[in-house]
A and B are shown apart, each in its own frame.
Chain A
C-alpha cells in the first residue's frame, strides 16, 4: 500500500531533550516536506527536499533540522525543543520536484507536546 508513515504518532517530551520524528514513504517520491499545524494558523512549511541531499527552508525553519540521505526517508530533528514547538506535525511527499505536482501525500501526523 502506497503510504507516508510517521513515527511516533504522539510524543510528550521536556524542554531541551533532543528528539527525531521519522518520515518514510514507499512511493519513490522525489519531493518531501514537513509542516506544522497550529490552531488559527493553518499549516506552515518547515523544510522541504527536492531529492536526496537537497533540502531547503520553508517559512518556519527555526529550531528544526532535516536530512535526506535516502530517497524514502526525511527525518525532522529538534535539537533543543521548546514549548513553542508544541504542535501537530505532518510529513508529505509527491512524485516529482520542480514540475507541476498535483498531489502531496500526507502522513498521519505527529502530535508533539513540549513541557
Chain B
C-alpha cells in the first residue's frame, strides 16, 4: 500500500527565514511522482511543486524547492524567505499505479510570524 507520512502537525517560522516541511513516502512502484500543495484558510488547493521518481535534480519553483532523497524515501519541501502569505496547510502527495492513484499526507500547518 502507498503511504505518505507528514510528522509535523504544526510549524512556526519567522518571516524571511527558511523552513523545511518533512514528508516521507512508501511505495513499491518504481515510477511515481511527488507533489506539494498549499491550502490557505480560504480552502482552495494550490499546486506548488512536483518531483518525478526518475528526476535526478531536485525540483525548484521560485521560493519552493523539493529536497528529494530517494534512498531515504523523503521529499521535504523547503520554503525560502518565508512570507506572511505562506501561512497555510501544506500537503505532500504521491501518485503511483501508473500515475493514476493519488495518496495525500495529513498535512502540516505552517504559521509565519512577523
Question: Which residues of A are interface residues toward B (Cβ below 8 A)?
Answer: 31, 33, 35, 40-45, 48, 50, 56, 58-59, 88, 90, 92, 97-106, 108-109
Of B12-20, B68-76, B77-85, B92-100, the one touching chain A: B92-100
Instruction: Report Cα–Cα, A103/B100, bound state, in Å.
Output: 13
Identify which of A48, A101, A108 contacts B33 (C-beta below 8 A): A101
CB distance from B6 to the nearest CB of A (A): 8
> A residues within 8 A CB of B100?
31, 48, 50, 56, 97-98
Identify which of B37, B103, B106 contacts A59 (C-beta below 8 A): B103
Instruction: Report Cα–Cα, A102/B61, bound state, in Å.
Output: 12
Are B103 and A45 interface neighbours, CB within 8 A?
Answer: yes
Chain B interface secondary structure, helix, strand, loop or mixed?
strand
Interface size class of B (residues with CB under 8 A): 20 to 34
Question: Which residues of B are interface residues toward A (Cβ below 8 A)?
Answer: 4, 6, 33, 35, 37, 43-45, 47, 50, 52, 91, 93, 95, 98-107
Are A98 and B101 interface neighbours, CB within 8 A?
Answer: no
Identify which of A45, A58, A106 contacts B45 (C-beta below 8 A): A106
Are B99 and A101 interface neighbours, CB within 8 A?
Answer: yes
- Among B91, B95, B100, chain A packs the most CB atoms within 10 A around the CB of B100
Are A58 and B101 interface neighbours, CB within 8 A?
Answer: yes
Are B47 and A103 interface neighbours, CB within 8 A?
Answer: yes
CB distance from A76 to the nearest CB of B (A): 16
CB distance from B97 to the nearest CB of A (A): 9
Are A102 and B50 interface neighbours, CB within 8 A?
Answer: yes
Instruction: Report Cα–Cα, A88/B43, bound state, in Å.
Output: 10
Which 10 residue pairs of A and B lie closest in terms of their CB atoms, listed nearest first?
A106-B45, A102-B50, A42-B106, A43-B104, A42-B104, A103-B47, A45-B102, A42-B107, A98-B98, A100-B52
Instruction: Report Cα–Cα, A100/B100, bound state, in Å.
Output: 10
